[in-house]
Homo-oligomer: A and B are copies of this chain.
Amino acid sequence: MTSQRRSKITPERELELYEAALDLLRESGYEALTMEGVAARSRCGKSTLYRQWGTKPQLVAAALRGTRCVKLADVDTGSLVGDLRAAARAAVAGAGRDTALMHALSHAAFQNPELLRALRENLIEPEVAAINAMVERAVTRGEIAADNPAAEFVAAQLMGVMRARPMVEGRQADEAYLHRFLEAAVFPALGLRATSRVTSHP
């Protein structure tokens, strides 16, 4: 039933609604955002918004997720080295696109448990699941052993250094930093050969 209702909105229309919500977030912040405001900006009925997304935190999380350029779950290069390099590229692209917006939201999430849960479920958990799926595919292909002790930490390592570099060095983690990190720390711990470049063959 929900899926039938959802099908009334086309993907293009959905993207317009998401962009309207994010524009309003950038302009006035999370507290000032209302479903009424998003409805007015996107010329959409308020009841449609509530039916489709339920609550403001759900709409915000869906808008952030739906406007991402690269979804980690779509990455499948055929090797763990290639997958993690692609994940590093996607992470930098995602984090860089809207620093002010993400800061405002981290801030709001401190005070709003429902927003925190919506962001976790819609943004963080799918990324963690996608990275863990990359590791599992590598086990299936025989690239790493199923009981490789470093496998447990790949997602936390990648997300961790992304957030820690600004604290440690006062600079954002860019793609070069993350690739250096993969080569120097993640691949050796997994027992993967650290090559300086990916070749065109898998």
A residues with a Cβ closer than 8 A to B are 103, 106-107, 110-111, 120, 124, 128, 149-150, 152-153, 155-157, 159-165, 167-170, 180-181, 183-186, 188-189
Contacts and interface: CB of A to CB of B under 8 A. Distances in A.
A195 to B, nearest CB: 13
Contacts of A159: 160, 164, 167-168
Nearest to A188: B189
Interface of A, secondary structure class, is helix
B128 A157 contact: no
A109 to B, nearest CB: 10
A153 B153 CA distance: 15
Nearest to A181: B153
A149 B149 CA distance: 21
A181 B153 CA distance: 7
Nearest to A173: B156
B155 A168 contact: yes
A170 B121 CA distance: 11
A125 to B, nearest CB: 9
